[in-house]
Chain A
Amino acid sequence: MAEAAAVERALGVLTERLDERTAAFLNACVRCGLCADSCHVHLADGDPASTPVAKVERVAKHYRRYHTLLGRVVPGLVGAEDLTDAALQELVAAAFGRCTLCGRCALTCSVGLDPSAVIRFGRTMLLAAGLVPKGILANRDAALETGNNMRLSREDVVETIQWLEEDLRQTLGDPAVRLPVDEAGARVLYVLNPREIKFFPLSISAAGAIFHAAGESWTLTSTDFDITNYGFFAADAEAAGAISAKVIERAEALGVEELVVAECGHGYRTLRWEAPEWLGRAPKVRVVSFVEKMAEYLADGRIRLAPTRNPLPVTLHDPCNLVRNGGVIEEQRVVLRSAAAAFVEMTPNRAENYCCGGGGGLLAASEFAAQRVAAGRIKADQIRATGAKVVTSPCHNCIDQLMELNRHYKLGVEVKTLGEVVADALVPPPPVA
């Protein structure tokens, strides 16, 4: 009974919430299969079910059944199928277990469609059916209820930042260094991934050192700082919009000019590109990635770097949501060429880079952990081929996955955020007298 209701709800999405873009993609796919080799999951497991076209078909065959004449009359001819509970379970495996929504297949599609948009629509159907992995939903709900996905209290945040500020002053030997919090009138609001506060505080210190060196007027916020968005991964536009709105409205309330998004691929994508569509308006502040900000500081001569301070060969992993789906492509290269003595590109790179395997919210979906690490083999092979000793990536989700790949595939590399690499190379400004 409950299963029938779930099918009905998913069917409601398929019949009522399909937009023109997704419908065009569903009608345009000719199942040529040329997308197959673009997918890191398929390259890793060789399973025909992992090709982008096979994942698109998990949605398309139901689309044909309910939206096309031949699908209604002779479903067997066109491979149209009824939506059933079993079909929804297969869709879970395809849309979550076998896909990180990285969108690499979109760049290779011979027709010119975006399979990840169709698979994301499949996730919306699963959301209606109550079949999105619980870990993703738990993070979404935490962000909606508390303002951040780790349920950090305001006190946790403030105490951590105060401790980091003291530590940074000692490290830099500069008592003027500040990690300001909730300061109205600052020009820049820097917003974080809560994992930075809990597990990777050094990336906050690195950002603080860079803002200080640049002489920036900036602030952190003790509330509504979470740039992650598990509503986005759940394909829950309503929740995703509400989560993004908290951050944007906090920036607007503080009266800043720029909302600088810390190193988080999907955080940047959602706040920069998706949130305006969810909210139905453009933010009153400029939304910019910390990567872009660092490149701007370099271009303006506001920070100076000594690449010899990073002597080991460094390679760069391009986060899919920042690069392929966000357009921030060259800035990190400009930064790295200034920050590291030897910067080695992966092959392929930029928009054609392979996903690390940790995208699409899979880091929170423990039931797919083994598949996630297995799919990361392609990234591990890419890293190994560079001969680099340091891997950097401007994305905390990617960093988490890269650290796990480092252990699993015994890569023997150090994994760092881009900000950490830059902070290590930073030529500090003279202390204020």
Chain B
Amino acid sequence: MTLPSLVLFLAFAISLASFVVLRLGLGRRVATPFAPPRASAAAGVRYAFTTAFLPWAKESARQHLTSYVAGIVFHGAVFAALGLLVLSLVHVAPPPGASTVLAVAFAAGLACGLGLLGKRARTAALRAVSTPEDVAANLFVNAVLAAGIAAVLRPALLPVFQLVGAALLLYAPLGKLRHMLFLLTSRRYWGTYFGRRGVRPSPRQAAGPRG
């Protein structure tokens, strides 16, 4: 194992352990609900993790389709980069021809990430709630994507990609990137709430009048 691979492996382990600690220390547990459900909590959770992601599922996505697409592309590229980092640890090379696809995907993700950062700078409502870390975290992720592009086009630069990726993994539990974990918890609660109450995925139909 090369030194960058070892650093990356340790970063994965430390990051994972940090996320486990964060998750366990999140707060007091929410009790199992006593109110009888109107519909299915499980259906709500399934919806939250599947079709709720579709562009027509939420008004915000429908109204801000460009941002929605940019977000999907950006996050898709990030997941691809994380996947590539994992593959690099087990010495599995991407299949022939994948390098170009990955480079395009990372470049598209990079462009979308920068685009979202530009939107944050341009939009008054976003500037009002932005912190320096919003910029830093975005640039950090974009740096990983840029390193990913370099690594797939020039395999000799893979160690650089691994080290930048390791730094990101170590940073992730500390700042806003922790949403990668808490999004899961958040969506589960969201789906449970609206699912039990019969609001999502679809309202319970009422019987029509008789006679």
Interface, chain A (partner B; CB < 8 A): 17-25, 27-38, 42, 48-49, 51, 53-54, 57, 68-70, 76-79, 106-114, 272-277, 279-282, 292, 295-296, 298-301, 304-305, 323-327, 329-331, 333-334, 338, 348, 350-352
Name the B residues within 8 Å of A281 (CB-CB). Answer: 34
B118 interfacial contact with A, CB 8 Å? no
Question: Is the beta-carbon distance between B211 and A111 smaller than 8 angstroms?
Answer: no
Give A55 Cβ to nearest chain B Cβ, in Å. Answer: 10
Q: How far is the CA of A55 from the CA of B136 in the complex (A)?
A: 23
Least CB distance from B156 to A in Å reads: 34
Residues of A within 8 A of B130 (CB): 31, 79
Query: Please, how many angstroms separate the alpha-carbon atoms of A344 and B133 in the complex?
Result: 47
- Which of these, A21, A28, A112, A326, contacts B30 with CB under 8 Å? A21
Q: Could you tell me which B residues sit within 8 Å of A by CB distance?
A: 22, 26-31, 33-36, 38-39, 48, 52, 58-61, 63-64, 67-68, 71, 116, 120, 123-134, 136, 174-176, 178-179, 181-183, 185-187, 189-191, 193-194, 197-200, 203-211
Nearest to A280 among chain B residues (CB) is B34
Query: What is the CA–CA distance of A277 and B187 in the complex, to the nearest angstrom?
Result: 21
Contact at B179–A276, with CB atoms within 8 Å? no
CA distance A69 to B22 in the complex (A): 11
For A17, give the chain B residue with the smallest CB separation: B28
CB distance from B74 to the nearest CB of A (A): 11
Residues of B within 8 A of A325 (CB): 197, 199
- Can you name the residue of chain A whose Cβ is closest to the Cβ of B187? A112
Instruction: Say whether A282 contacts B189, CB under 8 Å.
Output: no
Q: Are B63 and A20 in contact (CB under 8 A)?
A: no
Choose one: A31, A111, A299; the contact of B183 (CB below 8 Å): A111
- C-alpha spacing A53/B127, complex, angstroms: 11
CB <8 Å contact, B39 and A327: yes
Task: Identify which of A110, A277, A304, A326 contacts B34 (C-beta below 8 A).
Answer: A277
Q: Is the CB of B59 within 8 A of A38?
A: yes
- The complex places the Cα of A324 from the Cα of B198 at a distance, in Å, of 9
User: What's the Cα separation between A324 and B199 when bound, in Å?
Assistant: 6
With A28-B186, A281-B34 already in contact, the answer to whether A33 and B209 are too (CB < 8 A) is no
A414 to chain B minimum Cβ distance, whole angstroms, is 24
Find out whether the CB atom of B129 lies under 8 angstroms from the CB atom of A329: no
Closest 8 CB pairs of A and B: A79-B131, A327-B198, A276-B34, A48-B128, A329-B203, A299-B207, A112-B187, A23-B27
Asked if A22 and B129 sit within 8 Å, CB to CB, the answer is no
Q: Which residues of B contact A33 (CB under 8 A)?
A: 120, 123, 125-126, 129
A19 and B29 contacting across the interface, CB-CB below 8 Å: yes
Alpha-carbon distance A282/B36, docked complex (angstroms)? 7
Contact of A334 among B58, B199, B209 (CB under 8 A): B209
Task: Say which residue of A21, A79, A301 sits within 8 Å of B132 (CB atoms).
Answer: A79
Residue of A nearest to B210 (CB): A301
Taking A36-B125, A57-B129, A279-B34 as contacts, is the C-beta distance between A21 and B189 under 8 angstroms?
yes
Minimum distance in angstroms from B20 CB to a CB of chain A: 14
- Bound form: Cα–Cα A17–B28 in Å: 8
B186 touches which of A25, A51, A324 (Cβ 8 Å) = A25
A38→B128 contact, CB < 8 A: no
